[in-house]
Amino acid sequence: TGFSGYSIGGLSVGETKAEMYEMTRHLNPIGVGAPEDLLENVINGVDMFDLPFNKPRYLMCVLPTRNARHGTALTTTGKVTIKNKQFERDMSSLDPNLQSSVSKYSKSYIRHLFKAEEQLGQRLVTIQNLAYLKHLMAEIRQAIKEDRLLDFKKEFYERTNYPKVSY
């Protein structure tokens, strides 16, 4: 399905090299936000994702909020469906491997918020999801600096329950 890439025609016919490089510098797949999609897109050369108000500390994609509305938290070990009964008495944090403002709340408490239809539950999971995606992108940048992105990819799929992408 699809095609093997994009072809940009009409380059090197009069513009300066700086102008050519500026035109081809950024790739931005709009709406991409699943952790495995971020990783795979970076591996394929994508260098930018949706950012509101030009403030890179938040990701614009709706996925973190949409997942949160349905009780799905993104964590360093994969997706956690916080509404599940298994978390009813779980006093651990959503993601013990990631420190954020949500870390002080237990899975049990956040599950209770969802069951009581309190908006705070969705808000806390949204904050968790954004914190995780920010953390993931920092890990990806570090792997690139260390020239170990493909090793990082292997480790990512081994330690998480995110669906492995085959293409």
73, exposed or middle or buried, with CB in 10 Å at 0-12, 13-18, 19+? Answer: buried
- Comparing 67 with 55, the larger pLDDT belongs to 67
Helices 149-159 and 119-145, axial angle in degrees (round to 10): 150
At residue 53, does pLDDT exceed 60?
no
Q: Average pLDDT over the chain, rounded to whole?
A: 87
pLDDT, position 2:
64
DSSP secondary structure letter of residue 77: T
Those residues whose C-beta lies under 8 Å from the C-beta of residue 53, and which sit 6 or more positions away, are none
Cβ neighbour number for residue 41 with a 10 Å cutoff = 19
Domain extent listing, the chain: 17-153
- Comparing 152 with 6, the larger pLDDT belongs to 152
* Amino acid identity at 75: T
Confidence of residue 134 (pLDDT cuts 50, 70, 90): very high
**E strands, the chain, where?**
72-75, 78-81
pLDDT digits (tens, 9 = 90+) for 57-95: 444 568 889 999 999 999 999 999 999 999 999 999 999
> Is 3.20.20.105 the CATH number for 17-153?
yes
pLDDT digits (tens, 9 = 90+) for 122-132: 999 999 999 99
Q: What angle do CA 136, 140, 146 make, to 5 degrees?
A: 145
